[in-house]
Chain A
Amino acid sequence: MENQEKQQKINKVAVICAKGNLEDVYAALVLANGAVMDGIEAKLFFTFFGLDAVIKKRMNKLQTATVGNPALRMPNGTRMGNLLGMIPGIQPMVSKMMKKQMDELDVPPVDEFLDMITAGGGEVYACQLAVDMFKVKREELSEHVSDVLTVGEFYEKAAGEGAQIIFT
């Protein structure tokens, strides 16, 4: 107990998501939502391929890689294997199955998850450099995105006592 009192409480988290795989985006969303749920201030920053998570047309169509993903297993527990994973249609099918299983555990689609996070006071940002690089227009970004920031501006938002930066 005495030891616990000495620990610095986490007051704020900044979660950076740079990948557009289903699992990487969800890791960021779960971490940010979990923070908000516990009264911890949360900022989400989407950059590079992670930007797909806040592009309206793409956010609910994220997929998990079925090639080059050694931990991916079939329902019976055997490895998926790259040759099977590269067959057209397998990746969307596996991704759909994963989304269904998540939904059963009340893990919502990306747009609804962002609704939950922002409803709890969490903030969502997109990276200026990635937006410029991929030539994404502001109107293509989801309305959850409150601003497009440079990395310096993001650090300003992330600062604070008991603040942590998490890169998924």
Chain B
Amino acid sequence: MDRRTTLKWVLAAGAAWPLKGGRAARADAEPTARGYGTDPNLVANYRPGELWPLTFTAAERRLAAILADIIIPADEHSASASAVGVVDFIDEWVSAPYPRHQEDRTIVHDGLAWLDTEAGRRFGKGFAELGGAAQHGICDDICEESSAALENGDAAKFFALFRDLTAGGFYSTPAGRKDLNYIGNVPLTRFDGPPAELIKALGLDS
């Protein structure tokens, strides 16, 4: 970490939320593409980056991957979020030209910056450089909006959004469906309803 960055963190008193206007220098990275229009091909397969350019910087991608995997790590049931393309998905999301996504873009951009600022304030390092315990320490302070400290309100809002996006990306994939034991979306010749034993066990047979 260079001195200039350290100085910036020190100056950022209490890890204030970045000013909304502070992104003028990144104007070249703003998504400028149009949406997919009112009549897209519904039976084609789409990949992130195909319809509009992805706009995460390399540093943002790295941070996004770390945070996504903190939220959805690999376990005995399924892979981690980043392993199934969730970072690309979130990048597609925040790069999309629609109003909702543009709003989320600001929150995610500022939130990722806040993680680094907060890590610097607490540990003098970037968030990516921290160990798991330190990263979790920061996340614990912002993972629940209703209990987060007042000055962490925006960061908690960011975390809630990022968790929703991570989950949305993850559970949309085959790995996510498998994790939840989803067994539908297959043609059946008949639909028999739930098994009688289950209905009985739940007391729904009367």
Chain B binds chain A? no
B residues touching A (Cβ–Cβ < 8 Å)? none
A residues touching B (Cβ–Cβ < 8 Å)? none
